[in-house]
Amino acid sequence: MPFGLLKYGLRKKYPAERHFTPTKPLKSHYDVVIIGAGGHGSAIAYYLAKTHGITKVALIDKGYLGGGNTARNTAVIRSNYLTEAGVKFYRDSVELYQNLSNEFGYNIMMENRGQLTLAHSDAAIRSFRWRAEVNQHLGVRSELVDRQAIKAMVPNLNLSENARFPVLAGLWHADGATARHDAVVWGYARGACQRGVELHQLTEAQGIDVEGGRVVGVRTNRGRIRCGVVVQAVAGASSVVGQMAGIKLPIHSFPLQAMVTQPYKPILTPHVSSPHVHVYVHQTSRGEFVIGGGSDPYPLYHTRATLDQKEILSAATLELFPFLAQAKILRQWAGTTDMTPDYSPIMGLSPVENYYLDAGWGTWGFKATPISGKMMAELVATGRVPALIEPFELERFYRFEQVNEAGATAASH
């Protein structure tokens, strides 16, 4: 180890700083209670405090900060969706991500290595062309690329014409990126706590008090809290928590599994995704190959990993990258993903007054963390639904106006 680094570490001038405020006793009243201290809940708390000066906020989690899907996702950030509402929304999120390290004064390890989605059929090429047009129209970098360009970008991809599903073309998304998921939630929670928000871990919402159609409090394992506004941002528990407020949602909860190999020297630059063979792969800066994208075939509130998924993901990976045949799998895990019928989130008002929803984040919510936090904070502060998230209101299902997001990763499965 360089001597200078050791000296730096031992110097008193740079003491280790405390990230989050020590847990205080839970008060009996807050202006706002945010249920769920994942990336989303923390981002909402951050923008409430920073942009709107609302700081009498309790950010509660039944487990620990960022221990839910924020800790389990594969960290893919992109905006090459298909619907206008979706592209605009995720585009603004990617933009916020680009400046997040500076804003926090804290490295979220943003890596802009781009995303390549593979087409193995004529139908896929047609839909990629469509996506590229929509994306470019809305200011997102997205273009159709041929096999030669793919070979230049990913020399070790299996481009054999004798493959079971030969690669015909690709959708290249230069704005695609990854970031350290834990750093994102820590950065947001730290910024919120510095401005007076109270983080309460091991604090489970067990009931919601509604009076005259309006939310008035939250019952927790640490006592009852009265409050003016509640935001639920609980990812894989949306139906369960919604039920406490008497709200039924168009959501089904499925485990989504991913895994990671032993580390290798840098060999794969962009994130590579194949909707057809059902897998996506990228190499982290640590060298591990992250392999993702397998949902269980039926709903379940359990985060066990299965041998079935290990086999399915491995087989698909080997179609694309045969050189990984000898790779050892280091870890495999799952998170509960709340899937909506149109592969779009549910944000905004609920049937209960002052009870706001940030739900239905399925397999796509990490990339949305900054923008949903910002928009939900604006909703809480002003009571009005920002135009950017209006299309995603729960009401859309009653109007039969779904935002059919065929560009979602899971949609192609």
Partner 1 sequence: MKQLLCPLNGLRNISEFLYGGEVHELSDPRDYSAKDWAEHVFFDENRAGLVLEWWCHRPTSYWFIAERNTITDEVVRSFPSSEIFTHRIDFDQRRDRGEHV
Residue 373: both structure tokens together: 């936090």
Q: What is the 3-state secondary structure (H, E, C) of 110-127?
A: CECCCEEEEECCHHHHHH
Number of other CB atoms surrounding residue 248 within 10 Å: 10
**Considering only CA atoms, which of 264, 102, 282, 128 is closest in space to residue 187?**
102
**Nearest distance from C-beta of residue 280 to ligand FAD, angstroms:** 8
One of 256, 327, 352, 408 touching ligand FAD (CB under 6 A): 256
97 lies in the binding site for ligand FAD (CB under 6 A): no
One of 152, 298, 328, 387 touching partner 1 (CB under 8 A): 298
Residue 248: both structure tokens together: 């039924």
One of 32, 34, 72, 191 touching ligand FAD (CB under 6 A): 72
Stretch that binds ligand FAD, among 22-30, 39-47, 156-164, 381-389 (CB under 6 A): 39-47
251 lies in the binding site for partner 1 (CB under 8 A): yes
Partner touching 283 among ligand FAD, partner 1, none, CB below 5 to 8 Å by kind: none
Q: Which is nearer to ligand FAD, 63 or 263 (CB)?
A: 63
Partner touching 18 among ligand FAD, partner 1, none, CB below 5 to 8 Å by kind: none
**Considering only CA atoms, which of 274, 386, 393, 395 is closest in space to residue 47?**
386
The phi, psi pair for 76, rounded to 5°, reads -80, 130
**Nearest distance from C-beta of residue 112 to ligand FAD, angstroms:** 15
301 lies in the binding site for partner 1 (CB under 8 A): yes
Q: Which is nearer to ligand FAD, 168 or 242 (CB)?
A: 242
The distance in angstroms from the start CA to the end CA of the chain is 46
Q: How many CA atoms lie within 13 A of 227 on its CB side?
A: 29
DSSP letter string, 215-243: EEEEEETTEEEEEEEEEE--GGGHHHHHH
One of 61, 143, 288, 319 touching ligand FAD (CB under 6 A): 61
Q: Which is nearer to ligand FAD, 197 or 258 (CB)?
A: 258
DSSP H helical ranges for 64-121 = 69-72, 84-98, 100-104
Measured CA to CA, the distance from residue 59 to residue 208 in angstroms comes to 15
Partner touching 300 among partner 1, ligand FAD, none, CB below 5 to 8 Å by kind: partner 1
Partner touching 249 among ligand FAD, partner 1, none, CB below 5 to 8 Å by kind: partner 1
- Residues 3-42, one symbol each (x = binds partner 1 by CB under 8 A, - = not), give ----------------------------------------
Q: Which is nearer to partner 1, 48 or 249 (CB)?
A: 249
User: What number of chain residues touch partner 1 (CB under 8 A)?
Assistant: 22
**Nearest distance from C-beta of residue 64 to ligand FAD, angstroms:** 7
Q: In a 10 Å sphere around its CB, with 0-12 CB exposed, 13-18 middle and 19+ buried, how is residue 182 labelled? A: middle
Which pairs from 16-25 meet CB under 8 Å and 24+ separation? 19/186, 19/189, 19/190, 19/193, 20/65, 20/189, 20/190, 20/193, 20/199, 21/193, 21/198, 21/199, 23/199, 23/200, 23/201, 24/198
Q: Give contact residues for ligand FAD (rule: CB under 6 A).
A: 35-41, 60-63, 67-70, 72-76, 204-205, 233-237, 241, 256-258, 292, 335, 337, 361, 363-367
Q: Give contact residues for partner 1 (rule: CB under 8 A).
A: 237, 239-240, 243, 248-253, 297-302, 307-308, 341, 397-398, 400
